[in-house]
A and B are shown apart, each in its own frame.
Chain A
Amino acid sequence: MKEKVLLAEDDKTLSLLLKFRLEKEGYETFMASDGNEAQKLIESSKPDIILTDIMMPFSSGLEVISFVKDTLKRDTPIIVFSAAGQEEMVLKAFNLGATDFMSKPFSPNELIMRIKRILMQKK
Chain B
Amino acid sequence: MKEFLNDLISIYLSLPLLIQVIWVVIFVELILILSSFIHLNLLRSRYQNKMKEHQKLTDKYQEILINYIYFTEDEIDEKNKTTKLLKIAIKNKSDRKVIQNLILTLHDDLTGELAEFLETLYYDLGLVQYSLKKMNSPVWFIKIKGIREVTQMKVKDVYTETLMLINHKNQLLRSEAQLTMVKLYQFEGLKFLDTLDFPITEWQQILLIEEIQSIRNQEIPNLTNWLYSKNDSVICFSLKLVKLFNQIQMKDDLIKLVQHPSEKVRRTAIDILGYFRILEAKTILKQIFKNSAAETQLFIIQALSQLSDKKDIPFFEKQLNSADFDIKKVAYDTLKDLKPFLVTINLNKV
Contact = CB atoms under 8 A, between A and B. Distances in A.
A24 B115 CA distance: 19
Interface in B74-95: none
B161 interface: no
A44 interface: no
B105 A13 contact: yes
Contacts of B69: 17, 20
Contacts of A109: 112-113
B105 A17 contact: no
Interface in B126-154: none
Interface string B84-112: 00000000000000000010011111111
B293 interface: no
A73 interface: no
Given A12-B62, A24-B70, A17 B111 contact: no
Contact of A107 (B66, B67, B110): B110
B108 A105 contact: yes
Chain A interface size band reads: 10 to 19
Interface string A19-63: 011001000000000000000000000000000000000000000
B112 A17 contact: no
Contact of A106 (B63, B65, B106, B109): B109
A12 B62 CA distance: 9
Contacts of A88: none
B70 A13 contact: no
| Majority secondary structure of chain A interface residues (helix, strand, loop or mixed) | helix
A16 B110 contact: no
A104 interface: yes
A14 B107 CA distance: 9
A13 B111 contact: no
Contact of B70 (A11, A12, A20, A110): A20
B114 interface: yes
Contacts of A20: 66-67, 69-70
A74 to B, nearest CB: 28
Interface in A84-105: 104-105
A107 B70 contact: no
A104 B112 contact: no
B54 to A, nearest CB: 13
A87 B19 CA distance: 70
Given A12-B62, A13-B66, 19 more contacts: A13-B62, A13-B105, A14-B110, A17-B110, A20-B66, A24-B70, A104-B108, A104-B109, A105-B109, A105-B115, A106-B111, A107-B111, A107-B113, A107-B114, A107-B115, A108-B110, A108-B112, A108-B114, A109-B113
Interface of B: 62-63, 65-67, 69-70, 102, 105-115
Interface of A: 11-14, 16-17, 20-21, 24, 104-110
- 7 closest A-B pairs by CB: A107-B112, A105-B111, A107-B111, A14-B109, A104-B109, A16-B66, A105-B109
12 contacts: A13-B66, A14-B110, A17-B66, A20-B67, A20-B69, A24-B70, A104-B108, A104-B109, A106-B109, A107-B110, A107-B111, A109-B112
